[in-house]
Amino acid sequence: LSFPNSRAYSLVDSSQVSTFLISILLIVYGSFRSLNMDFENQDKEKDNSSATGSFNGNSTNNSIQTIDSTQALFLPIGASVSLLVMFFFFDSVQVVFTICTAVLATIAFAFLLLPMCQYLTRPCSPQNKISFGCCGRFTAAELLSFSLSVMLVLIWVLTGHWLLMDALAMGLCVAMIAFVRLPSLKVSCLLLSGLLIYDVFWVFFSAYIFNSNVMVKVATQPADNPLDVLSRKLHLGPNVGRDVPRLSLPGKLVFPSSTGSHFSMLGIGDIVMPGLLLCFVLRYDNYKKQASSDSCGAPGPGNISGRMQKVSYFHCTLIGYFVGLLTATVASRIHRAAQPALLYLVPFTLLPLLTMAYLKGDLRRMWSEPFHSKSSSSRFLEV
């Protein structure tokens, strides 16, 4: 969502461009991180099967959550209930919500930093896990990434800087894209269509019922700093904890304009939900590429040109996401009001995907049939 100033000289400024680039990079990185996790799980399953002499093709990592049709239908309802709770009882639950968000952001940002920490610690330390008793066993890279994440969260709590909040939001986006799966195009359409209705209702029509724009108020309302609340509860004195700022929670990406007169804001739901669709089509592209190589390069349907067959679903959907994001930004600048981004993102991503799947003859398979990528000896993909 973009909140333009009263005198805007261009439809797209530097803050919107930053939002475009960061959101696209997060989706691409999260999608490829998810696919790399699939490869790692397949390698582990292959090792286990060779050791035990049996193979269970349905075994997956317990940390990965696959959304089914029922969950896709009820997710917008649950999101609406959560939004109303935040709207009516924000003063009562803001501290608990801030602490829970900080904990989740810490774990997610540690996951975001883990590949870099693995690269840094590989030459100087073995990959043996260190035991911490009941807490579990962790490698040096995991401990380093978690320590850096905790340090970042503490600095964010003390300063409330928007850049640190954006870093935590990036971690949440990547973790959610990597650990959540859409099994079919039918579930993807149900989820995105329901969230489109949810987004449009709470941005455009909630003011007629609640006399206030519920979505905008919840998204922009800062929360009390836990250090300030703790100092008041413990009666630590008038000067202890009073200098810490109120916190804008990391449920969004914000970027200031070049003049500093306004911030451009994009909710992480507008990144994660299309990102799940991008992750799904990337996995399908990889599955189809492996299937075509196994069939010795069999040609596609006769009514589709070879150039059309070479266009991947991932690139088509990613371009649609960019165009939808650009359209949402232009609409917000023209109407001088917050816009539900999913109103533009869902049609620009789903419609080209459905059209291309129909033309290529993959629509029936993508719609309802689950697919599983085969084990590959290489984890490097041609981008």
Give the max Cα distance, the chain: 79
User: 3-state DSSP call for residue 312?
Assistant: coil
Give the closest residue to 236 by CA, choosing from 247, 225, 246, 228.
228
**Which helix (H) or strand (E) covers residue 247, if one does?**
none
139/137 Cα distance (integer angstroms): 7
343/201 Cα distance (integer angstroms): 10
| Catalytic one of 13, 38, 228, 270 | 270
Which amino acid type is present at position 318?
A: L
User: 3-state DSSP call for residue 2?
Assistant: strand
The shares of helix, strand and coil residues in the chain, as percent rounded to the nearest 5, are 65, 5, 30
DSSP type of residue 135: G
| Catalytic one of 38, 166, 199, 228 | 199
Output phi, psi for 130, to 5 deg. -100, 130
182/40 Cα distance (integer angstroms): 19
186: left (phi over 0), alpha (psi -120 to 50) or beta: alpha
Alpha carbon 345 to chain centroid, angstroms:
14
Six token digits for residue 315: 């690139």
Instruction: Please count the other Cβ atoms lying within 10 Å of the Cβ belonging to residue 174.
Output: 25
Output phi, psi for 344, to 5 deg. -100, -35
Which amino acid type is present at position 72?
A: A
75/233 Cα distance (integer angstroms): 36
Helix axes 342-360 and 185-200, enclosed angle (nearest 10)? 160
Give the closest residue to 26 by CA, choosing from 138, 211, 177.
177
Instruction: Give 264's strand partners.
Output: 2, 255
- CB 104, CB 172: distance < 8 Å: yes
Residue 199 annotated to the active site: yes
Helix axes 14-52 and 162-179, enclosed angle (nearest 10)? 40
| Catalytically annotated residues | 199, 270
